[in-house]
Chains A and B, each alone.
Chain A
Amino acid sequence: MTAQTTTPPATFSRRNWAKDAERFALLGAWAVLITIFAFAVPDTFFTWRTFSSMFGSQAVLVVLSLAILVPLTAGDFDLSAANVLVFSAMLVAVTNVQLGLPVGLSMILAIGVGALVGAINAVFILYFRIHSLIITLGVGTFLQGLTLWMSQSRTISGISMNLVEMVVIKRLFGIPLAFYYGLALALIMWWVLEYTIAGRKLLFVGRGREVARLNGVKVDRVRMLSLVASSTLAAIAGVLYAGMTGSADPNSGSTLLLPAFAAAFLGATTLYPGRFNPLGTLLSVYFLITGITGLTMLGADAFVQSLFYGGALVVAVSLSQLVRGRQPQSFG
Chain B
Amino acid sequence: MTVQPLDALNVAHHDADILRMSNIRMKFGSVEILKDVNLTLRRKEIVGLLGANGSGKSTLIKVLAGFNSPEPNSVVRLWGETLPLPLDANRIRQMGVAFVHQHLALVPSLSVIDNMLISDTSRRPYGIRWRAEKRKIQTLLDEFGLAIDPTATIETLSPVERAFVAIVRAFAELRRSDAGRAGEGILVLDEPTPFLSVEDVEKLFGVLRNIKETGASVIIVTHDIDEVLSLTDRVAVMRDGRLAAMMKTNETTRQEILDTIVGRATSAYVRAPRTTPGAPNVSIQGLSGGRCTSFDAEIKTGEILGVSGLIGSGFADVPYLLFGAGDGAGQITVGDSDLDAARLPPAKAHAAGVALLPGDRMGQGGIATLSVAENATFLALPRMKGGFGISQAKMTTATQALIATHDVRPANARADLGNLSGGNQQKVLLGKWLAEKPKLLCLDEPTQGVDYGARQQIFKALDDAAADGMSIIVASTDHEQLAQLCDRVVVFRRGEPVLTLSGPDVTKDKIARACLASDVPQSQNSQLTEVSA
Contact = CB atoms under 8 A, between A and B. Distances in A.
Interface of A: 1-4, 6-7, 9, 12, 191, 194-197, 200, 203-204, 207-208, 210-211, 213-218, 274, 324, 327
A207 B410 contact: no
Contact of B379 (A12, A215, A327): A215
Nearest to B389: A195
A214 B323 contact: yes
B358 A214 contact: yes
A211 B370 CA distance: 12
Q: Considering residues B363, B378, B424, which has the most beta carbons from chain A within 10 angstroms of its beta carbon?
A: B378
Nearest to A9: B410
A327 B368 CA distance: 10
- Which 6 A-B pairs give the minimum distances between C-beta atoms? A195-B389, A216-B350, A4-B421, A3-B451, A216-B347, A2-B29
A214 B325 contact: yes
B215 interface: no
Contacts, number: 88
Nearest to A200: B381
A327 B449 CA distance: 21
Contact of B410 (A7, A191, A200, A218): A7
B454 A3 contact: yes
B370 to A, nearest CB: 6
A210 B369 contact: no
Interface in B416-431: 420-424
Contact of A217 (B29, B347, B363, B415): B347
A11 B423 CA distance: 22
B183 interface: no
A6 B30 CA distance: 16
Given A1-B451, A207-B370, A6 B390 contact: no
A3 B382 contact: no
20 contacts: A1-B28, A1-B29, A3-B451, A6-B410, A7-B412, A9-B410, A191-B388, A195-B390, A196-B390, A200-B374, A207-B367, A208-B366, A211-B363, A211-B366, A211-B367, A214-B358, A216-B349, A216-B350, A216-B379, A327-B368
Which secondary structure dominates where chain A touches chain B? loop
Interface of B: 28-31, 323, 325, 345-347, 349-351, 356, 358, 363-370, 374, 378-379, 381-382, 388-390, 409-410, 412, 415, 420-424, 449, 451, 453-454
Contacts of A208: 363-364, 366-367
Contact of A4 (B370, B388, B390, B420): B420
B445 to A, nearest CB: 14
Given A4-B420, A207-B370, A211-B365, A216 B351 contact: yes
A274 to B, nearest CB: 7
Contact of B381 (A1, A197, A213, A274): A197
Nearest to B384: A197
A42 to B, nearest CB: 42
A214 B31 contact: no
A124 B265 CA distance: 59
A204 B351 CA distance: 19
A8 to B, nearest CB: 9
